[in-house]
Structures are given as C-alpha cells and as structure tokens.
Amino acid sequence: MQFPRMAQDTSTPKGAAPAHAGAQEEFRPDGTPTILVAEDDADIRLMMRMLLGMKGYRVVEARDGQETVDVAKQERPDLILMDLQLPRLNGFAVARFVRQTDPIRDVPIVVVSAHDPAKHRNLALAAGCNAYVQKPIDFDRLDELIVSLLPRD
C-alpha cells in the first residue's frame, strides 16, 4: 500500500495536547513493540499511527527533532521511524544524538523521507540510521523492514 505526501500542517490546534501526550500512562504487559513516529506532517503521522496500529504496534509520536529526542529518552521505543526534514533538529542530528545516548543508542532508526535517496541515504546511514525508505511509502515493504529490525526475544 502506498500513500502520497499530503499537505503539511505543522500547527497544533489551540488547547490540543502534544503528539506524545498520555504515552507514559500506557503499559505494555504483553511486550507489544513501540514505534516512535517522528514526522512534522500531521496527516502522515495520523496515517502511520493507523497503519502501524492495525499491525499491532503501539505508536508514540513526535512533531519535531527535539520532541523526538525527548520522547525517545522517555519512552525507549523499540524502533524509530523518522523524517529527515524536522523542525528544531533535523533527522541527521537526531540520529547522531540517539547513537550517543544510553539507553537508546541501539534503537533501530528508519528514515522515511521524500528526499532523493541517492543524495541522502549515505548521509543518513553515516549519521547512524539503519535504513532509508523513500516516500511515497510502500507500507507492506516498510512493515517487512520493521519486523526485520525489531529486537527478537
């Protein structure tokens, strides 16, 4: 399944909770993998949350690079799906930070970007990302990649 990049909406409605609000109250007694979706486009975050949720993943979200770092430290996700072009800190900076931070340094990071992979894939991998997926996303292939990168018990 592929979905196109939709119009960006980086605003938060007045009085709305942050994208990750309430996440710490969730408990994973069944070991459900948690995926952090770092994306500034609200429509893409919603679509990713729905599609990943249908696959049985717990999804937490971040709207910018700094929030990605904060949520990753707090939630310790099993995997991060991240756009490269994030406000406040770009994806390269986030990846470098994650790779230098215990206890999240080993969390797999998958870049999900509309940027030209010929130009940005090697930069993303050098920054510490594990894989690069180009938008529009082939969700079946993304799910296979996620499964291959998730830690196994």
Per domain, the residue ranges of the chain are 32-149
Residue 36 has pLDDT above 50, yes or no: yes
Mean pLDDT over 123-141 rounds to 95
Residue 27 has pLDDT above 70, yes or no: no
- The rounded mean pLDDT for the chain is 84
User: What is this structure's pTM?
Assistant: 0.81
**Per residue, what are the HEC states of the chain?**
CEECCCCCCCCCCCCCCCCCCCHHHCCCCCCCCEEEEECCCHHHHHHHHHHHHHCCCEEEEECCHHHHHHHHHHHCCCEEEECCCCCCCCHHHHHHHHHCCCCCCCCCEEEEECCCHHHHHHHHHHHCCCEEEECCEEHHHHHHHHHHHCCCC
Residue 2 has pLDDT above 90, yes or no: no
111: exposed, middle or buried (C-beta count within 10 Å: 0-12, 13-18, 19+)? buried
CATH 3.40.50.2300 fits 32-149, yes or no: yes
43-78 pLDDT, tens digit each: 999 999 999 999 999 999 999 999 999 999 999 999
When pLDDT is cut at 50, 70 and 90, the band that residue 12 belongs to is: very low
Residue 105 has pLDDT above 80, yes or no: yes
Q: Which residue has the tokens 């938060």?
A: 12
108-130 pLDDT, tens digit each: 999 999 988 889 999 999 999 99
Strand 79-82, strand 131-134: pairing:
unpaired
- Which residues are paired to 112 by β-bridges? 133
Which segment of 12-16, 72-76, 89-93 scores lowest on mean pLDDT? Answer: 12-16
